Structure formats: C-alpha cells, structure tokens
Structure 1
C-alpha cells in the first residue's frame, strides 16, 4: 500500500526484497506475522539500486536497514529481529534444537542440491535426476515428520515451517508433475496448505521496482493473519 503523507512521517526500517527470492520470502513471512511495518524497496536483480549496495555491498536480498543505521543482511536474522519485536503466534517458542538442525540442513545440503536440480545445465557433473534424488533425502525427512504432526515442529505453523517452505516451493516448481506424483503425500499437503494460505498471498503481492524518490511503500502489519 502507498502510505499517506502525514505532517511528520514516522521513520520505518528499510527492507530491500525481491519477490521470488526464497530468502526474502521467508523474511517477509516473519515481518508480516510480527505485525510490524517496514518501508519496502522491491529490487530488480539485474539492476540493483546503489542505495542498497552502499549499505550492503554483497548485493543479495533480503537486507534490512534499521532507523539507527544497523544493517541486517541475513534472512534468518531478519526473521528473529521481527519476531523479537512482536511474536503473536509464538514462532520463536517453537524452535527446539531439531528445528535449528532442519533449517541448517535446508540452508546447507538441500539448497546445494536444489540449485543443481533447478539449474542442471550449469552443473553437468551429474544428471538432473541425480541432483533431485540427493535433494529427496531432505524431502523424506520432512515427510516423516509431517506424517506425525501437521507441521514440522508440532501442531502449529512456526518459524521452521516459514524458513523452509519457500525452498520446498522452489524444488516442487522445477517439475510440478513429478512432485505431484512423488511419494511425499504429507509434504504435498503441507506445501499446498502454505501456498493457498492468506499469509502466503499477503507476502507475494506484486510491487513495482523501487526507484529513488518513489513514494513510501509500506509492507507488513499482517499480524491478524492465521497461516492456515
């Protein structure tokens, strides 16, 4: 939404994002659930704004710039920052040690094979099928968990679900027909519930790429949304 122009405009954290990036996606999920508002700056990966590069030369999203000048450059740190301000659905309380292990696995080995599965032509050392099978080790772990409980770490959607779901979405999208027929029915249902949720719809709204001197665009303040 475009913010009105009050006499004394509040100062919001600046959030650089790219709609389809799974790291930015999971940061947006936490910001939305927290009920905070941030100044959204949607970027184009092929034309990164100098304002972003000046505060975060690594050139990847998401990036959060706080009003005091502190820069948070990692998606999980942005999630934790948002939820530390306000955590109405208790995502941080649903973080047993094995949840951290799952996220580390997602961000490590699984992301490694996901990239090679998605862009197999860039990695000819193995076939796409081999890369997919290596990624399936993680899918099988998630399936086992979801056969026991509706969500990855219990009965309610939490930080681990939000941190991992954007990457499973990306894996499934490489070959939707294969994923639909794969031996992971609980994982398929979990992903479908996520993709059809109001929360996902809220964080996937389209915004035009930000340019200097554009009006303020606020993102967030969705705390009333229930994931499923």
Structure 2
C-alpha cells in the first residue's frame, strides 16, 4: 500500500501552495489539514518546529516521517515518487535547478514581501526597483533558452517554486502600484503557460482573497513568521 500523506497547509501561504502543487502534479492522494495562521492550534509547534506551514507527515506501516520547509518536502516527493519527473535527470541539470530555486528563495521572494511591508515612499521605490531587477534577471538569465518554462527541459520544481507569488501579484499592483513589468514578455508568457495548467487551476484562489489576506502586510501589521523575520532582516 502507498504511504498515507497528510499535509498541514494554509490557503493563503505561498510556501504551502508549492507543496499542494507538487502533490497534485505527482497525482498523489493526500489529506489536507488547514491551519489558520492567525490562530494556530495550541499544539501546532509539536507538529511544526518552526511554527510554519507546510508540514508533511508520511506514515507507512509503523513508520512516521515528519518533514517541513516547502522545497525540502518537494524534493523528497520527487525522490520518493519519481514519476512524473519534476527535476532534470542529470546531476548538472539538477544543480542548475537548485541555483534558480535558491535565487527565488533568497532574492526574489524577500523582495516581494519587503515591497509590501515598506511604508515610506523611498523604501517602496527601492524595493520596486529591486523586484523589477529580479524580474529582468528571470527574463534575461533564466528564460533565455526559448522554452515555455523556467528550465529548458520543461516544467519542473523551479516553476512550482516561483509561481505562487505570481498568483499573488495583484497584491503588489493594488497596494504598491507595481504591475508585472511590461519589459518582461517572456515572463508574461511563462505566467500564461502556468495559468493554463490544470493543476494550477485546481488550487487557484480568488484575487480578492489575496487582497484581503495581504492587507496586513501592506499595513505592516502582519504577525506571520515570514513578516516578523523580514522586518528584522
């Protein structure tokens, strides 16, 4: 029998969104436990040592494995359930994928949040420029191979790593006047391709929900672990 998979997730969280997409792309059945990040269960730190989602529980026979951090979970799923493949087969191809994932995690997503959290005009301008530069990097360095997805080999965990923030991009347009840059046509084509995937459509939320969810970021009153970490960064 296949293992029982239980995902602790939050609908608003882009990191949990990554793992929902990966599980769905793999065609894996899983139980989903929705966590209200503003009112976490009293025992949640017993489930998630960092107090964050996603957390994946894997139960098979008498064994129980608990995993956290979205891309670590996603790479586990790639190794444990290798079909369909979501990373290149070659060691070099996987290394390149991890380089782009590192850029997304450590450059792109912090800039997204810092723009939302910034309250004064000068800081907002700074983070608009930084995020625009990151979009141009994706346009010229990552999507320069002429394919539809971020890797020349096709759809992968790299696309999954990036996409959730683009589904939430309307928050930047609405609260910070920063639409997806017009000088990034490859990036816009990539987004259209992603939006056409059935797995993406299965988990898509109403844009108004994101505007409601991220209002606290725009007002700099968000209390999530991510917001607190980026304020102190």
TM-score (norm 2): 0.74
* Distance change >3 Å, CA 173–CA 53, structure 1 → 2: same
SS at match of 1:13: strand
| Unaligned residue ranges in structure 2 (runs of 5+) | 207-233
Structure 1 partner of 2:68: 73
Compute the displacement of 1:178 (Å). Answer: 4.1
Matches within 5 A, 1:68-217: 68-93=63-88, 95-121=93-119, 124=120, 126-144=122-140, 145-147=142-144, 148-171=146-169, 173-175=171-173, 178-180=178-180, 182-204=182-204
Q: Is the 1:56–1:63 contact (alpha carbons within 8 Å) kept by the matching residues of 2?
A: yes
How has the CA–CA distance of structure 1 residues 165 and 201 changed in structure 2, closer, same or farther, with 3 Å as cutoff?
same
Higher RCO by CA contacts (8 Å cutoff, separation 6 or greater): 1
SS at match of 1:40: strand
| Deviation digits for residues 184-216 of structure 1 (CA, Å, limit 9, x no counterpart) | 11101211221242111223479xxxxxxxxxx
- SS of residue in 2 equivalent to 1:70: strand
Q: Distance in 2 between matches of 1:171 and 1:164?
A: 11
- Kept in 2, the 8 Å contact 1:118–1:171? The answer is no
Is the Cα–Cα contact under 8 Å of residues 17 and 40 in structure 1 kept in the other structure? yes
Task: Give the Cα–Cα distance (whole angstroms) in 2 for the partners of residues 98 and 180 of structure 1.
Answer: 25
Structure 1 match to 2:224: none
* Offset of residue 105 of structure 1: 1.1
1:36 pairs, out of 28, 31, 54, with: 28
Q: Tell me, in whole angstroms, the C-alpha distance in 1 between the residues paired with 2:181 and 2:130.
A: 18
- Given that 2:148 and 2:189 are in contact with CA atoms closer than 8 Å, whether structure 1 keeps it comes out as no
Where structure 1 has 5 or more consecutive residues not aligned to the other structure, the ranges are: 1-9, 207-228
How many equivalent pairs are there? 195
